[in-house]
Structure 1
Amino acid sequence: MILHVILLVSMTGLIFTHPFDGHFRFTLGVVVLATLLLYFRRLPIISIAVSAGGVMLLFRILIKYPFLEESLLSAFWHNVPAFSYYLAYGLLFSVFKVRDYRGNIPALILLLSICDIASNCVELMIRQEPGGRSLETILTSLVAVGIARSILIVIGYYLMKRYRDFVLAEAHAARYAELIFIIAKLKAELFYLKKSSADIELVMEKGYTLYQTLNAAQPGELVRPESPSARALAIARDIHEVKKDYYRVARGIEEILDVAVRKEGLPLSEFFQIIEQNTRRYINSLDKPVSISFIYYGEVVTDKYYAVVSILNNLIINAVEAVEPAGIITVTARYSGGKLHLAVADNGPGISPEDVEVVFAPGYSTKFSEVTGQMSTGLGLSHVKNLTESLGGEVTLTSKPGKTVFTVSLPLTNLEVSEAD
């Protein structure tokens, strides 16, 4: 990076103007030098200034010498005072600790102006070529140019700083959106884990009831390890151990989510934008010509946005995979009858009438990997149905060739977060 800075300063130092008769000139190089020194605090001030001055001196000699009727030594002496300017500027920049005043614009402009004016005075004294101009004219020019260049430096520094803040904000927004989707997926999996725990509890009770029935029918058979009652009791015990493992995993995930999840609600427009950004990144990664639009009317603030994000994400991914080889997808949100209606429509081939009845069943899938030949898990739409019902809503499907629409209707009373909350 240091080499790049030196080359950039040296090359911009070739952009100049002659204010007086002679070899003295005002260049753009010092603006670039000071801007980069302010922005990159780790850059060594004096060594950068000296190196840039030396390389610029070399550039000027190599570029102009072949076209001038003078010796190499003469060309060197005509340009070496410019090196003294950069040396003086670097020393003054360091002595005045200009970087410490980056938050005080008037003081920063004043110190940069002093560094510029004083360094130009050093160069003029070494050159000893006033060119017939009065001292007042020379000083006026030095002060005006020094202030003008200092203002340009401050503007350049704050523009770079503003751009960095913009890039960091973009990166933060991307990480935040990614976190939203990760937590949404975890919450959906946690929902299924709890549902499975309840199912396991029920199976364990049935197993224990079976043991009691068998033991009552054949008293004393429990002492025989291979007896039906003993085997039923062993199965109930094994299921109980599995249930405890499920509870431990579920509790661990809940504790992680308690730390990661923000408790307050999000407006519909905000997490809709997150879904849109994530979806467009997903489509771009597929290199698939899919057009998708997001339309929403009104606003609602909800703390159930992780469930809504998971619902929409599953429906949208299904739609993207359904439209082959390309297609159009529309995602809408509207309010009607005290409910939030979310719809994902695509112009894919549609779903056959016999499949409409079983499309939400766990394990149902028509997708498979072309590489491994394995079928998809078929849990996406099952997730949608269960999450929707957990919010007191319902999901419906209408499909025909060229148009498939999944509509999720959620009661606003189960979604909205009041100001008091």
Structure 2
Amino acid sequence: MGKNKLALLLMLLLVPLAGELKFCPFDGQFSSFRVSFGSPTFLFFLLWLRNISYIYLGLLTGAAVLLFRIALDLASSDTALAVTFSLRFPAFFYYVAYAAIFQLVRNKQLYNQPLHIGIIAIFAELIASFVELMLTLQYSNAAVLFTVPIVGKIVIIAVIRNFFILSFFFITNLRHAEIIIEQQREKNQHLLLLISGLYEEVVHLAKSLQNAETVTRNCYHVYESLLSSQSAFDKSRLAQNILEIAGQVHDIKKDNQRIFAGLTQLISDGKLRDYMPAQDLADMIVQSHQKYARSLNKEIAFTIKMESGLPQLHVYTVLSLVNNLVSNAVESIKNTGDIKISFSRSGESLSLRVADNGPGIPPKKRNLIFKPGYTTKFDLSGKPSTGMGLPYIKELAAHLHGSIDLETNPHETVFIIQLPLQNLTKEG
């Protein structure tokens, strides 16, 4: 809108000024008729401001030209205002008639057809010129007499002027198109670099995910063996297991360092924020899980319900909690379903709610879902998941002095996390 206002201002300044670069091709009763650069300049702005009513542009331009010429007459001579007004008033209708012709044939496809624009511009100038001439003669009480030479001159002048400005306009558009193509080419090159860089990071990430799965399973086995051991356990064997886990964690850390370094370079501004608006976080969660759902050949509709006025939230904490819940919801839905994510505030607490219409959790298993190692998910090879997602969420929520609860009904499974806002915001 700001560009349109600037273009309007330029039009109201340049068209009257261009109208003073003129010559008068006729003598006698048509001696006041001028040929100037006003109309081709006006045509240029009509093509530029094509999203604004042409009648509106014609009225504004006609008024600006009329006032400008009256001001010049009054400044340069002692001509009475009524006289100069009657002399200059036909110019107002010239621009209104010119714009009206373009308004009548307005069509979006028109601007891709230079020849059609040229023909319409010539026709518009002829009509506008005849309107101005007739009004000029009416004010001077002279007889209207359009001879073949007069009409011929008007046609020739219209052709030369309009094709001159159209050539300039389309050369400008061509240069603009070349710039856009060049920018698009640079963007495509940048995109190819991004894709090649991301491919390398995907390889590292796949290895890191596999290692993380193995580490989590090994940790759970150690945890289970410690709980079930009735007698003294083998310290040497335990130390060896822990050392293996430490080595695997170290490998994951190195992979993640490489991935982080690569992705940081791919990010254009190079900055990762610790806090983000709640809406941006929710959008990020949905976008990533839409891709996850598509990778599993599932059609899932995501809905975000966001309370207004929420402060910026700690990115990694919120993502760590909500991503786990949303991933579980995506995996639980068979083929198609709905997932609803909501952020709301209750006093000094933040409520994070994730609901899905998947198969649900049987009543007899609801007491087991937060137990480490319990899972109902298996991969394609039949290996069970680690079952550490919900226990991790519960542990993290408790660490933040919050809680996680499960609500079920015949149509939805709903997990609700309640957390103190002070532990998620900068102020906290």
TM-score computed with the length of structure 2 as normaliser: 0.47
